[in-house]
Chain A
Amino acid sequence: MIKFLLMVNKQGQTRLSRYYEQVELGKRASLEADVVRGCLARRKEECSFVEFKDYKLVYRQYAALFIVVGITENENELSIYELVHNFVEVLDKYFSRVSELDIMFSLDKVHIILDEMILNGHIVETNKTRILAPLLALDKMAES
């Protein structure tokens, strides 16, 4: 099961956080800081899976942005690793060359995309067209 997904930049600023298990607000900040510290300290050639407290982190870096997913033991690391990439590709498709700014300014849309892909800590959809369908419908409504 997926516990949380974070998008954090190299300065340690959280750009997106989605928790699939209740974590108190006060603990989130320190958790996020720990997670980022753990990932930033690692070199390129080190592996993308880190044991962290009682779960595992799977992380992937895109330019200055880290996407970190916290998973339980019974989740397949490589499939999560590629899920992250699939997510980024969806963002890229929607924003055409997604950047950190897109994520900040369109936080609600990023959330919509993510909610289509992961619900309640489980993968629900991996097909890019179907992931984007509700969002595109939304945009169409806004235009009219």
Chain B
Amino acid sequence: MPAVSKGDGMRGLAVFISDIRNCKSKEAEIKRINKELANIRSKFKGDKALDGYSKKKYVCKLLFIFLLGHDIDFGHMEAVNLLSSNKYTEKQIGYLFISVLVNSNSELIRLINNAIKNDLSSRNPTFMCLALHCIANVGSREMAEAFAGEIPRILVAGDTMDSVKQSAALCLLRLYKTSPDLVLMGEWTSRVVHLLNDQHMGVVTAAISLITCLSQKNPDEFKTCVSLAVSRLSRIVSSASTDLQDYTYYFVPAPWLSCKLLRLLQCYPPPEDGAVKGRLVECLETILNKAQEPPKSKKVQHSNAKNAILFEAISLIIHYDSEPNLLVRACNQLGQFLQHRETNLRYLALESMCTLASSEFSHEAVKTHIETVINALKTERDVSVRQRAADLLYAMCDRSNAKQIVAEMLSYLETADYSIREEMVLKVAILAEKYAVDYSWYVDTILNLIRIAGDYVSEEVWYRVIQIVINRDDVQGYAAKTVFEALQAPACHENMVKVGGYILGEFGNLIAGDPRSSPLVQFNLLHSKFHLCSVPTRALLLSAYIKFINLFPETKSTIQEVLRSDSQIRNSDVELQQRAVEYLKLSSIASTDVLATVLEEMPPFPERESSILAKLKKKKGPGAVSVNELEEGKREGGELNGGGERGDNSAIAASNASTPSPSADLLGLRTGPPVTAAAPSAGSLLVDVFSEAGVNDDGFLRDLEPPTESSDSLLAEGPGDSDSAPPSVVSEDPATPLPESNELLNKFVCKNNGVLFENQLLQIGIKSEYRQNLGRMYLFYGNKTSVQFITFTTTVTCPGELQSQLNVQAKPVEPLIEGGAQVQQVINIECLTDFSDAPLLNIKFRYGGALQNLTLKLPVTINKFFQPTEMASHDFFQRWKQLSLPQQEAQKIFKANHAMDTEVLKAKLLGLGMALLENVDPNPENFVCAGVIQTKAQQVGSLLRLEPNAQAQMYRLTVRSSKDTVSKRLCELLAEQF
């Protein structure tokens, strides 16, 4: 080897590097670099033409400066000039600079391409290699356009030098990856495959990378590579360590090439040809055998190289998953590594075994190592190894060992590294759910989880335990007892309070017989935690209290007293205050029947994919949960969810496999957009309590005076509508309302309050009241972001003839809405005569510089001006007959969109504003209503009859009014409601 002089004669470079090394501080270094940059710049700009040597020296310096992390914005041209030098050293440094510093969208590409073209046609292999390396490293589209046709030719030409072939193979790979459309398959493709047979090992090494990539994209066209790869592998594996000379590494023949061959084979299923397959199995057996032989060298390099091949062979065996014998042997081999003194081997063995655990042939063999793995979890000093052990335990878990594994994971959690706790918690929760035979064990496990690692228990986990308890009545009593006991602890995690509050609120009655857990004791226990909890938890507890009033009338006065206390009823938090006020009112004015209906036990949740599994998948990305696991879920599904008819959820679970996170929330709460400050999830709990119980919130809350104006979240639409919150759509044309605005309008036909619109940025709540022909509407614009909206303006317009039918006046609104704030706008409405259209509300504002512009329909509909009219049966029919002109009647027959629940129908008809007349229609299934629409010009009497047909799931709706347009409009509006 030649003695190399430092800096290779480039004294200036050596001095500069020494200077940098001697810099005492970062500032000094930067100063020195700037000085040098200025120097080089002036040299490049100077009049004197630089010779190749100087150019090379300066480009070298720039390269060094770039490495130190400084941007280099000049010198590119000089580097390009070096490319056309005839001196190899200069050319080489030019190419180096280009491939390190130039990115694929540089403007210089054309010049570079020119130089490359010259070098490729030079027939000088060294120059050709430099040019090919450059294409492989930069790989821009223009380069692909220029050279995609030529490179395959170079690659397969008989007279190309080996080193050029190597470069050409990787160069083509790069072009194929960046511009697959330009690399056309052709007669070269079959010849590429035959490079696997090339006598030169370097060529094979390079060609495999290309062939692997091509095979993944076009498996059929490259199928022949399998038999070629097998025979190549076989020759290497069976060769003596001296056969391959320079490709032998510490007595291991061609380890990197072997790994790449084994990796290529993993692109294909097991070979169909018996002879090829036999040869391959032989190879794999030889590799496994070699692992048992005494090492040929004590050097770690020897064993590493050998094991690199071994692990790759095991990957292939697992990939095939068809040779039980090999799988079990692989498992035993990995088992040995589990106790190896090399940490690297233990780590890789755990990782590899994890995939082995999912094969049906080796699952049992993997399970025999459970004690070793548990031991690794407890004693490994390296967190990444412990993580692998935890993964493996998760993978090898099944019904037979679930209790042991879950117990070990739980105890590991107590000392686990913070970085992996959340994932561990999810895994424990999933295993506990998946393999729960008796649900008391499941409940115990989750409560333990909360006790040990409460901070890491995400909402999904505690939602899930509640969901399961609610759906399974055999565990409810046990759950109530267990949470009651858990809450006795002087300090318990807030998540425990949440679960406890929810479960006692639903099922506290199941343990109330025992004087030690009498209703009052339960209440006092919960309430003792109240003051230590955050607002959402307190909100949940308040809901539990109102449920207590229903479950245990004897607690009513105590709880009312609590609700009435200043700290509740005047709480500074709007949500808490509102709950306190409403619950207090509810408990004092509603009859026990109403209370029992409203506060009925939660109905079973619809079964869907375990949200925890979804969360784990999301955490790990799609594909992280193996197919096997999903199928496992399918098998377990039936038992897990108790009933046969619920078992079909697993199909959903499986079909959801590709989507990382389907609706993950368990309580049927909306998965609000991340910035929803205005509607905390706890806020919507109430909505669930009300609407799930089958009572229309509007009909109910109407009697209550909403204490605050920010009641939007409380009045939010029921779960049926919850998905209709539109995405952030900004309509281009201000005059066109959003496509969904008709739907939004329909939501408010039978109710006056709620959320009119919501997107990522803005929530619009609405509250309205009507008297005679007058109405007043309050719009609440909530800024959901943390950034202020500026130049916020709204305009209300009445398009077309509506102008003469409706008089709408909007009060001005604040032009600025701070992040998280809400502003209010009052709109006064006067109905002049009957109308069919809706006024348009246009909203414009700037958010972070971007103009937002959207138009909605204001939910002002003709029925808002109804005055209910009570009348007796014969009056009704008399008037019905009077309105007998054909145009006075409008009729529609339509399919039911919602469940045909009598109570819900009644509530909706009441919400419509007419009087619902009892005992009028001879058929008790039918509904009849009467009302008078008040407009300034006239009064329009209207009668309505709704005939449900439960068998056909259809309705017939008939409306008669003294004015034909009114009949028609009412019929249209109502047909969308049922």
Residues of A within 8 A of B (CB): 14-18, 20, 22, 25, 28-29, 32, 42-43, 45-51, 74, 76-79, 81-83, 85-86, 93-96, 101-102, 104-109, 111-112, 115, 119-120, 122-130, 133-134, 136-139, 141-143
State the total of A-B contacts with C-beta under 8 angstroms.
186
Q: A134–B126 contact, CB under 8 A?
A: yes
How many Å from the CB of A56 to the closest CB on chain B?
10
Q: B129–A134 contact, CB under 8 A?
A: yes
Residue of chain B at shortest CB distance from A25: B71
Residue of chain A at shortest CB distance from B202: A125
Q: B92–A126 contact, CB under 8 A?
A: no
Q: A17–B1 contact, CB under 8 A?
A: no
Q: B7–A127 contact, CB under 8 A?
A: no
Q: A108–B68 contact, CB under 8 A?
A: no
Distance in angstroms between the alpha carbons of A83 and B124 in the assembled complex: 29
Check B304 for interface membership: any CB of A closer than 8 A. Answer: yes
Q: List 25 A-B contacts (CB under 8 A).
A: A16-B67, A17-B67, A18-B100, A22-B104, A28-B69, A45-B343, A46-B385, A47-B344, A78-B307, A78-B348, A79-B308, A79-B312, A82-B308, A93-B1, A102-B6, A109-B8, A119-B166, A124-B202, A125-B205, A125-B206, A126-B257, A127-B246, A134-B126, A139-B2, A142-B8
Q: B255–A141 contact, CB under 8 A?
A: no
Check B209 for interface membership: any CB of A closer than 8 A. Answer: yes
- B:148-170 near A, CB below 8 Å: 163, 166-167, 169-170
Residues of A within 8 A of B385 (CB): 46-47
Distance in angstroms between the alpha carbons of A29 and B249 in the assembled complex: 35
Q: A119–B126 contact, CB under 8 A?
A: no
Distance in angstroms between the alpha carbons of A4 and B301 in the assembled complex: 22
Check B14 for interface membership: any CB of A closer than 8 A. Answer: yes
Residues of B within 8 A of A51 (CB): 384
Check B256 for interface membership: any CB of A closer than 8 A. Answer: yes
Residues of A within 8 A of B8 (CB): 106, 109, 142
Given A112-B96, A139-B4, 17 other A-B residues pairs in contact with their CB atoms under 8 A: A45-B382, A46-B385, A49-B347, A76-B311, A78-B305, A78-B308, A79-B255, A82-B256, A85-B301, A96-B3, A107-B64, A119-B137, A119-B166, A127-B247, A134-B163, A139-B2, A142-B9
Residues of B within 8 A of A85 (CB): 301
- Asked whether A124 and B89 contact (CB < 8 A) given A79-B308, A83-B256, A107-B64, the answer is no
Check B338 for interface membership: any CB of A closer than 8 A. Answer: no
Check B381 for interface membership: any CB of A closer than 8 A. Answer: yes
Q: A122–B170 contact, CB under 8 A?
A: yes
How many Å from the CB of A38 to the closest CB on chain B?
11
Q: A82–B249 contact, CB under 8 A?
A: yes
Query: Using an 8 Å CB-CB cutoff, how does the interface string of B295-308 with A read, 1 for contact, 0 for none?
Result: 00000010011011
Residue of chain A at shortest CB distance from B381: A45
- Asked whether A130 and B202 contact (CB < 8 A) given A120-B174, A122-B173, the answer is yes
Query: Using an 8 Å CB-CB cutoff, how does the interface string of B333-350 with A read, 1 for contact, 0 for none?
Result: 000000000011011100
Interface residue SS majority, chain B: helix
- Asked whether A123 and B136 contact (CB < 8 A) given A25-B69, A107-B60, A138-B92, the answer is no
Residues of B within 8 A of A46 (CB): 343, 381-382, 384-385
Instruction: Give the residue of B17, B60, B247 whose beta carbon is less than 8 angstroms from that of A126.
Output: B247
- Asked whether A95 and B4 contact (CB < 8 A) given A49-B347, A76-B311, A125-B166, the answer is yes
Which of A74, A77, A119 has the most chain B CB atoms closer than 10 A to its own CB? A119
Query: Using an 8 Å CB-CB cutoff, how does the interface string of B68-98 with A read, 1 for contact, 0 for none?
Result: 1101000000000000000111001100100
- Asked whether A120 and B1 contact (CB < 8 A) given A14-B68, A46-B343, the answer is no
Distance in angstroms between the alpha carbons of A22 and B174 in the assembled complex: 13
Residue of chain B at shortest CB distance from A141: B88
Distance in angstroms between the alpha carbons of A133 and B872 in the assembled complex: 108
Residues of B within 8 A of A (CB): 1-4, 6-9, 13-14, 17, 21, 60, 63-64, 66-69, 71, 87-89, 92-93, 96, 99-100, 103-104, 126, 129, 133, 136-137, 139, 163, 166-167, 169-171, 173-174, 201-202, 205-206, 209, 246-247, 249, 254-257, 259-260, 263, 301, 304-305, 307-308, 311-312, 343-344, 346-348, 381-382, 384-385
- Asked whether A76 and B259 contact (CB < 8 A) given A14-B67, A95-B4, A119-B167, the answer is yes
Distance in angstroms between the alpha carbons of A8 and B249 in the assembled complex: 26
How many Å from the CB of A140 to the closest CB on chain B?
9
Residues of A within 8 A of B348 (CB): 49, 77-78
Distance in angstroms between the alpha carbons of A22 and B139 in the assembled complex: 11
Residues of B within 8 A of A14 (CB): 67-69
How many Å from the CB of A64 to the closest CB on chain B?
14
Residues of A within 8 A of B343 (CB): 45-48
Residues of B within 8 A of A82 (CB): 249, 255-256, 301, 304-305, 308
Residues of B within 8 A of A106 (CB): 4, 6-8
How many Å from the CB of B5 to the closest CB on chain A?
9
How many Å from the CB of B617 to the closest CB on chain A?
16
Residues of A within 8 A of B171 (CB): 119-120
Distance in angstroms between the alpha carbons of A125 and B170 in the assembled complex: 11
8 nearest A-B residue pairs (beta carbon): A78-B308, A122-B209, A46-B382, A79-B308, A47-B343, A127-B246, A119-B170, A47-B347
Distance in angstroms between the alpha carbons of A115 and B166 in the assembled complex: 12
How many Å from the CB of B677 to the closest CB on chain A?
30
- Asked whether A123 and B71 contact (CB < 8 A) given A49-B347, A106-B4, the answer is no
How many Å from the CB of B387 to the closest CB on chain A?
8
Residues of B within 8 A of A28 (CB): 69
Distance in angstroms between the alpha carbons of A40 and B205 in the assembled complex: 33
Distance in angstroms between the alpha carbons of A42 and B13 in the assembled complex: 35
How many Å from the CB of B468 to the closest CB on chain A?
33
Q: A108–B344 contact, CB under 8 A?
A: no
Distance in angstroms between the alpha carbons of A95 and B435 in the assembled complex: 61
Residues of A within 8 A of B3 (CB): 96
Instruction: Give the residue of A48, A104, A120, A126 whose beta carbon is less than 8 angstroms from that of B137.
Output: A120
Residues of A within 8 A of B100 (CB): 18, 111
How many Å from the CB of B383 to the closest CB on chain A?
8
- Asked whether A29 and B69 contact (CB < 8 A) given A81-B304, A94-B4, A134-B126, the answer is yes
Distance in angstroms between the alpha carbons of A104 and B126 in the assembled complex: 25
How many Å from the CB of B338 to the closest CB on chain A?
13
Instruction: Give the residue of B21, B67, B256 whose beta carbon is less than 8 angstroms from that of A123.
Output: B256
Q: B249–A49 contact, CB under 8 A?
A: no
Instruction: Give the residue of A17, A93, A124, A141 whose beta carbon is less than 8 angstroms from that of B166.
Output: A124
Q: B344–A81 contact, CB under 8 A?
A: yes
Q: A108–B312 contact, CB under 8 A?
A: no
Residue of chain A at shortest CB distance from B209: A122
Q: B1–A119 contact, CB under 8 A?
A: no
- Asked whether A128 and B344 contact (CB < 8 A) given A123-B256, A137-B126, the answer is no
Residues of A within 8 A of B304 (CB): 78, 81-82
Distance in angstroms between the alpha carbons of A67 and B656 in the assembled complex: 42
Residues of B within 8 A of A43 (CB): 381
How many Å from the CB of A26 to the closest CB on chain B?
8
How many Å from the CB of A31 to the closest CB on chain B?
11
Residues of A within 8 A of B103 (CB): 22
How many Å from the CB of A116 to the closest CB on chain B?
9
How many Å from the CB of B128 to the closest CB on chain A?
12
Residue of chain B at shortest CB distance from A126: B256
Instruction: Give the residue of B9, B96, B133, B263 whose beta carbon is less than 8 angstroms from that of A108.
Output: B96
Residues of B within 8 A of A122 (CB): 170, 173, 206, 209
Q: B312–A76 contact, CB under 8 A?
A: yes
Residue of chain B at shortest CB distance from A20: B137
Distance in angstroms between the alpha carbons of A102 and B573 in the assembled complex: 67
Q: B133–A115 contact, CB under 8 A?
A: yes
- Asked whether A108 and B63 contact (CB < 8 A) given A22-B103, A51-B384, the answer is yes
Instruction: Give the residue of A50, A128, A143 whose beta carbon is less than 8 angstroms from that of B384.
Output: A50
Distance in angstroms between the alpha carbons of A122 and B9 in the assembled complex: 33
Residues of A within 8 A of B17 (CB): 104-105
Distance in angstroms between the alpha carbons of A21 and B100 in the assembled complex: 11
Q: B173–A76 contact, CB under 8 A?
A: no
Distance in angstroms between the alpha carbons of A138 and B126 in the assembled complex: 10
Residue of chain B at shortest CB distance from A22: B103
